[in-house]
Amino acid sequence: MKSEMEGRGGGGGGIRCGTLDLNALPQDCIAAVLPFTSPRDTSRLSLVSTTFKSAAQFDTVWESFLPSEYQALIPSSLSFSSRKELYISLCENPILIDGGRKSLSLERGSGKKCYMLSARDLFIVWIDTPTYWRLVSIPESRFEEVAELICVCWFEIRGKIRISMLSPLTHYKAYLVFKATTGAYGFDFHPVEVSVGLVGTEGSKRTAYLDAERGRRQRYQIVPRRIGLFNRSRFLGLQASVPTRASDDQYPKVRVDGWLEIELGEFFYDGCVNGELEMSVLEVEGGHWKGGLVIQGIEIRPNLCVSDS
């Protein structure tokens, strides 16, 4: 039988699917179906009619979009009037977990979990040597401390997280979140090696630059090209130039919170794999000195450009 939606949403207007008036359904019935959609779809459906709007406010609906362990994660000092208010708060205001070493938030449209590992939760070579690194507190960080790079020639940062902490059936990307001080040096012409993969496997590797200024300069890179077989440039020993676009994901981008981030790689969690996910940033082969970065942490969040359905 062919079903057809009739009528318009909004207000108390009738909505029919074939001969069924959806507004005639009990709110409890609608509220029982909404958890099988998504937070984004639930918000959209709340605009269909007053009946859907009322059902979309039920605590049972929004509790289904919260992490199963949310009650143990929410500080007792925080109180919320509804599960929807709690959900929105987790999307907009990351909470500290694991003794303040990690933060947890939710991706607004899907409810997928996002984590950031603090500098304290990372393995940083020479972090306990004040000549090379120091832990400091700054107001713009969500964590109590960040790691400030003073000067090293061996630059190595690694982070690990249990895969079971991630949302299943989700594509994730990992990012190093950092800032550059006014005296930053040593990263302009020397790339770092970044990788993401399961502990015990090689993972995916590529190169990236931590110098944001280089990214802006290299957005259109000038490369030599000769024009024609016989031309004035050739006889004068000159070469023409054409712009070529560099890969954007090789360079840092400015986040909404003002920090910089560089993509480390991606990973799909199917919900079945066990173990730990490891992310790394390395520059250990050049042997040159570098300094002037402030590391807030490594963030793991859903890749919104990929559908997980």
Instruction: Calculate the average pLDDT of the chain.
Output: 85
Q: What is the DSSP code string of 31-72?
A: HHHGGGS-HHHHHHHTTT-HHHHHHTT-HHHHHTTS-TTHHH
Give all strands of the β-sheet with 16-17 in edge-to-edge order.
5-6, 16-17, 20-21
Closest residue by Cα to residue 98 from 135, 80, 72: 72
Percent with pLDDT over 90 in the chain = 68
Inter-residue contact 295 to 147 (CB < 8 Å): yes
Query: Residue 237 — very low, low, confident or very high, per pLDDT cuts 50/70/90?
Result: very low
Residue 140's alpha-carbon distances to 172, 179, 183, 258, 263, in angstroms, are 25, 11, 19, 9, 21
Query: Residue 202 — very low, low, confident or very high, per pLDDT cuts 50/70/90?
Result: confident
**For 159-194, what is each residue's pLDDT tens digit?**
999 999 999 999 999 999 999 999 899 998 889 999
Inter-residue contact 143 to 119 (CB < 8 Å): yes
Residue 14 pLDDT > 70: no
Q: Write down the pLDDT at residue 227.
A: 42
**For 287-296, what is each residue's pLDDT tens digit?**
899 999 999 9
In this predicted structure, which of 67-76, 150-159, 244-253, 257-266 has the lowest mean pLDDT?
244-253
Q: Measured between alpha carbons, how far is 103 from 114 in angstroms, rounded to an integer?
A: 8
Q: Measured between alpha carbons, how far is 162 from 98 in angstroms, rounded to an integer?
A: 13
Q: Write down the pLDDT at residue 78.
A: 87
Q: What angle do CA 254, 260, 262 make, to 5 degrees?
A: 105
Section 190-209 average pLDDT: 93
pTM: 0.83
Q: Measured between alpha carbons, how far is 23 from 159 in angstroms, rounded to an integer?
A: 51
Reading the block at residue 126, the tokens are 């020479």
Percent with pLDDT over 70 in the chain = 81
Alpha-helical regions (H) of the chain: 27-33, 39-45, 50-55, 59-63, 70-73, 83-92, 212-217, 232-236
Query: Residue 206 — very low, low, confident or very high, per pLDDT cuts 50/70/90?
Result: very high
Q: Measured between alpha carbons, how far is 27 from 15 in angstroms, rounded to an integer?
A: 14
**For 64-97, what is each residue's pLDDT tens digit?**
999 999 999 888 888 999 999 999 999 999 999 9
User: With b meaning 16 or more CB within 10 Å and e meaning fewer, what string describes 243-273?
Assistant: eeebeeebbbeeeeeebbbbbbbebebeeee
Residue 242 pLDDT > 50: no
Residue 228 or residue 263, greater confidence: 263
Query: Residue 238 — very low, low, confident or very high, per pLDDT cuts 50/70/90?
Result: very low
Q: Measured between alpha carbons, how far is 120 from 297 in angstroms, rounded to an integer?
A: 8
Residue 4 pLDDT > 80: no
Alpha-helical regions (H) of 177-245: 212-217, 232-236
HSE of 259 in the Cβ direction (CA atoms, 13 Å)?
A: 20
In this predicted structure, which of 88-97, 116-125, 222-231 has the lowest mean pLDDT?
222-231
Inter-residue contact 281 to 177 (CB < 8 Å): no
Residue 13 pLDDT > 60: no
Q: Measured between alpha carbons, how far is 7 from 22 in angstroms, rounded to an integer?
A: 11
Residue 232 pLDDT > 60: no
Query: Residue 212 — very low, low, confident or very high, per pLDDT cuts 50/70/90?
Result: confident
Query: Residue 19 — very low, low, confident or very high, per pLDDT cuts 50/70/90?
Result: low
Reading the block at residue 250, the tokens are 């090789």
